[in-house]
C-alpha cells in the first residue's frame, strides 16, 4: 500500500513539475516565471524526498535541504534583480 501511495505521489509531483516547466517556458510575465521556478524547486524537493523514501537511504535529505536553500536564495535574487536592477547594492 505504501508503494502504491509512493507511486501516486511520484506521479502527482512529476505532473506538477511538467506543469511548472510549461509555465516557465510560456509565462505571461517575468514575476510569473519566478513564481513558476519557485514552485518547480518545491516539486523537486518533494521528488527527492520521495526517492529517498523509496531507496531507504538517508543521503537524499541533505540534497533536499541544499535544494531548498539554493532555491530560496535564487528566487529572492531573481525577484530582487527584477525589482531593483541589481542584487547587491
Residues that bind another protein in the complex, under the rule CB under 8 A: 1-2, 4-6, 8-13, 15-17, 19-20, 22-23, 29-32, 34-36, 38-39, 42-43, 45-46, 49-50, 52-53, 56, 58, 61-62, 64-65, 68-69, 72, 75-76, 79-80, 82-84
Cβ distance 45 to 20 under 8 Å?
no
Using alpha carbons only, give the angle 20, 21, 23 rounded to the nearest 5 degrees: 60
Residue corresponding to grid cell 508503494: 3
For residue 34, the minimal CB distance to another protein (Å) is 5
For residue 52, the minimal CB distance to another protein (Å) is 7
CA distances from 37 to 25, 27, 28 (A): 10, 11, 14
Amino acid at each position: 500500500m505504501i508503494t502504491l501511495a509512493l507511486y501516486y505521489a511520484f506521479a502527482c509531483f512529476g505532473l506538477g513539475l511538467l506543469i511548472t516547466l510549461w509555465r516557465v517556458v510560456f509565462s505571461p510575465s517575468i514575476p510569473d516565471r519566478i513564481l513558476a521556478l519557485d514552485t518547480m524547486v518545491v516539486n523537486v524537493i518533494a521528488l527527492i524526498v520521495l526517492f529517498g523514501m523509496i531507496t531507504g537511504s538517508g543521503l537524499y535529505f541533505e540534497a533536499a535541504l541544499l535544494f531548498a536553500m539554493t532555491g530560496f536564495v535564487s528566487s529572492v535574487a531573481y525577484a530582487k534583480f527584477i525589482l531593483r536592477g541589481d542584487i547587491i547594492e
